[in-house]
Structure 1
Amino acid sequence: MQQDKHPAYHPVVFRDRAAGYAFLTRSTATSDQTIDWDDGQTYPVVDVEISSESHPFYTGKARTVDSEGRIARFERRFGGREQTSGDGTPS
C-alpha cells in the first residue's frame, strides 16, 4: 500500500438506533461522537438507520414476494377463456 493515499482504517462502533444495538468493527468511517465501549476504550460511534438487527430480511419479517411465474399468471388469467373463431363465434 502506498502511504498517504488511503483513509485511516480504525475501530469504530456502529449503533443501530431502531434496534438499540451496537457493534464494534473496523472501518474508515469517522465521527465526532464517541462512546465508551465494554473493554474500557473510547471509540468513535456512527449512528445508522438500519442494520442486520433491524432489517426485515435478516429479522424474518420480510414480505413474501409473489413467486408465481409470468407464464403461470398468463395461463391463470387467459387460459380458461373460450377461444373464438375469426367471426366472433365460439369454436
Structure 2
Amino acid sequence: MKKDIHPEYREVVFLDTSSEYKFLTRSTMSTNETIEWEDGKTYPLIKIEVSSASHPFYTGKKMLLDTAGRVEKFNRRYKK
C-alpha cells in the first residue's frame, strides 16, 4: 500500500439534527466541530439530517408534508 494517500479512519459522533439522536462510529469524514461523548472523551462531530432514528421507513411514522393542497387539487381535477 502507498503511504499518505488514505484518509484518516477515526471514531466520530454523528448527530441527527431532526431527532437529536447521537451515535458513535468510525468514519473518514472530517469536521471542525467536536463533542464530549458519554465516556468523557472528545470526538469530532458530524451533523446529519436523517438517520435510522428519524427516517420514516425505520420508525414506521409517516412524516406530514405539505400534500393537502396537492390532494385537494387532484380531487377537484378528477372528481366525477
TM-score range, shorter chain: 0.7 to 0.9
Sequence identity of aligned pairs in percent?
Answer: 56
CA-based RMSD of the aligned residues comes to 1.4
Gaps of 5+ in 2: 64-80
Map of 1:41 onto structure 2:
41
Map of 1:13 onto structure 2:
13
Alignment of 1:21-60 (within 5 A): 21-60=21-60
**CA radius of gyration, larger in:** 1
CA distance in 2, matches of 1:60, 1:22: 20
- Corresponding position: 1:61 with 2:61: yes
Map of 1:2 onto structure 2:
2
CA distance in 1, matches of 2:3, 2:39: 30
CA distance in 2, matches of 1:13, 1:49: 14
State the structure with bigger RCO (CA 8 A, min sep 6), 1 or 2: 2
CA distance in 1, matches of 2:2, 2:39: 32
CA distance in 1, matches of 2:11, 2:2: 21
Runs of at least 4 residues off by over 4 Å? none
| Shift, 1:62, TM fit | 4.8
Per-residue Cα deviation, 1:32-72 (whole angstroms, up to 9, x for no partner): 01000011100000000000100010001258xxxxxxxxx
